[in-house]
Chains A and B, each alone.
Chain A
Amino acid sequence: MTRARVFDLSAKAVAWAVAISTMVFLILIIGYVVIRGVPSIASVGLEFFTTAPRGIKMQGGVYPMIVSSIYLTVLSLVIAFPIGLGAAIYLAEYAGRGRFVELIRFSADLLSGVPSIVFGLFGLAFFVYFLKMGYSVLAGALTVFLMVLPTLVRTSEQAIKAVPRSYREASLALGASKWQTIRRVVLPSAAPGILTGVILAMGRAFGETAAVLFTAGSVPQTPASPLDGGRTLTVHLFYLATQGQIEDSFRVAAVLLFVVLGFNLTAGWMMARFRRRFG
């Protein structure tokens, strides 16, 4: 065996070892939380999802946190969807290559790079104090909306651009206006791709902690209106874990994992189908 061949084999062996151990490690994280969390939830029973936590240590049910998390996620997406889609349509169909478009793209990239705690600080200063919303689901949702906007715009823009030119030309040739073409032909074809972006954004909103801690607050109540504060599942897990309540933490972590991974798996599956259709 030549030296080069020995090198080749050992390099491949190292690559295999690194990749396999990476995978094993990653599966271990998910597996460990699920294996410890699911039986723990089962032992508490359905009450875990339907009752409020008890006592100063916040043990037991997580109903108010589930409501807060869903409320915040849905609200931020309701705000983000029309704006993100509008921006994506503009960028994909109308925008040229001017300076303004460059500025938009740079801003979107910058926005997606801003640390989540800086979003949290901004939300606190702007929504909570300056606009006097107080610690509220609305302030949290608006902050998260800014965070998910870049992802939403990017995935929607790509989905719209993936629609073949021939579709547009066929519609325009039938005498449809540009807007009619976009609304009746391009958007329906791009819908699965756009929906993928929405689901990904929901996963991100649901899993966000730092940005909601100082905007939605951490009061463990069930928010009745968007102006009430609430404690999301993520913030709840943060408090439980740092207070050393391991058993309670496992339960909440398992719920978070299932929801967020569920969102991401769905999004991945839809994206694969969309790609197969339009290559």
Chain B
Amino acid sequence: MAVVGIILIFTFVISAGLPLFFKVGPYRFLFGMEWRPTGGQFGILPLILGTLLVVAGALVVGGSAGVVTAIFLSELCPQVLKRTFKVVVELLAGIPSVVYGFFGIIVLIPFIRSQVGGSGYGILSASIILGIMILPTVTAIAEDAVSSVPIDYKLAGLSLGATDWQTIRQVILPAATGGIATALVLGIGRAIGETMAVLMVIGNAPQIPDSLVKPVSALTSTIALDMAYASGDHRTALFAIAIVLLLIITLLLISIRLLHARLGSAE
């Protein structure tokens, strides 16, 4: 069923979007500077850049905090607090993305507007919201990786007179690199695919980003916003964007597989 599902999704999305690739040409579609679908301009470079910048920002915010929290949970956290912390992290993973988007609109946007300037909508806001959203994913998987490092490694490090921090940095982290990388890649996957929260805080103006606090657009948010009224080529173009998203996700998944295969053979 999963196989049938995935085949159905790929065939339908690809057959609905592919005509545009031929009509516009893959180069002009992917690297065109202007997304003005009602005027016949189908360049998605602004959207790709929007997505890339937001995801990079989310990784800086949520990826780093997630990895540090994971190390904290498995190495430093007192047992009493650990359960509570883990429950909170799990709960956060379940909050619907519209609720995150709503939180962004009422708290984050006014804050950025008054502290940083601009309208508040833009890459900065979207990065922070997405960072918070990927944090639980990154934390949970990185924590698994860090705690599955054999305790012997840690004891060996400590018994050589290394401090806790030296042991973590030079023994435990290198041993957990593969797992932490997987956590970050999954975080990236989640950030690329996230739609509603991004749609609600990014500002939705398909232009080449030149400021962190100016409204831009991302791949997913454009599909969600335009689908309500798109027709003809515009509609086909949205499916073509979906093809791009599917390709990115497939590549990410394959890279995780390769990572595991390499680590598996190294052990």
Interface residues of A (CB under 8 A from B): 4-5, 7-8, 11-12, 14-16, 18-19, 22-23, 25-27, 29-30, 32-33, 83, 87, 103-104, 106-111, 113-122, 124-126, 130, 146, 149-150, 153, 203-204, 206-210, 213-214, 234, 237-238, 241-242, 246, 249, 253, 256-257, 260-261, 263-265, 268
Contact = CB atoms under 8 A, between A and B. Distances in A.
B156 to A, nearest CB: 17
Given A23-B85, A25-B132, A115-B192, A153 B2 contact: yes
Contacts of A238: 98, 101, 196, 200
B2 A107 contact: yes
Given A11-B165, A18-B68, A264-B91, A114 B2 contact: no
B3 A19 contact: no
Contacts, number: 213
B246 interface: yes
29 contacts: A4-B163, A7-B163, A7-B165, A12-B76, A18-B72, A22-B65, A26-B92, A27-B88, A29-B132, A32-B103, A83-B1, A87-B2, A107-B5, A110-B253, A111-B2, A113-B252, A118-B223, A118-B246, A121-B16, A121-B239, A146-B5, A204-B94, A214-B228, A234-B96, A241-B106, A242-B200, A256-B99, A263-B94, A265-B91
B73 to A, nearest CB: 7
* Contact size range, B: 35 or more
A253 B12 contact: no
B77 A19 contact: yes
Contacts of B105: 241-242
A237 B98 contact: yes
Nearest to B67: A18
A30 B76 CA distance: 26
Nearest to A150: B2
A262 to B, nearest CB: 10
Given A110-B253, A238-B200, A121 B88 contact: no
Contacts of B5: 107, 111, 146, 149
Given A115-B194, A149-B5, A19 B72 contact: yes
Given A121-B238, A264-B94, 6 more contacts: A12-B165, A22-B65, A110-B253, A116-B196, A207-B99, A208-B96
A260 B95 contact: yes
Interface in B93-149: 93-103, 105-107, 132, 135
Most A C-beta atoms less than 10 A away, residue of B9, B77, B242, B245: B9
A237 B193 contact: no
Interface of A is mostly: helix
B249 A115 contact: yes
B69 interface: yes
Contacts of A242: 105, 200
Contacts of B95: 29-30, 207, 257, 260-261
Nearest to A113: B249
A103 B168 CA distance: 37
B21 to A, nearest CB: 16
Nearest to A208: B96
Contacts of A120: 223-224, 227
A234 B200 CA distance: 13
B101 A241 contact: yes
A118 B94 contact: no
Nearest to B249: A113
A109 B69 contact: no
- Residue from the set B6, B77, B93, B94 with the largest chain A CB neighbour count within 10 Å: B94
Contacts of A125: 12-13, 16, 239
A176 B71 CA distance: 48
Contacts of B192: 115
Nearest to B13: A122
A207 B8 contact: no
A250 B9 CA distance: 35
Most chain A CB within a 10 A radius of its CB, from B100, B103, B192: B103
B189 interface: yes
Task: Pick the 4 closest A-B CB pairs, nearest first.
Answer: A115-B193, A207-B96, A8-B163, A264-B94
B166 interface: yes
B143 to A, nearest CB: 11
Nearest to A262: B94
A256 B98 contact: yes
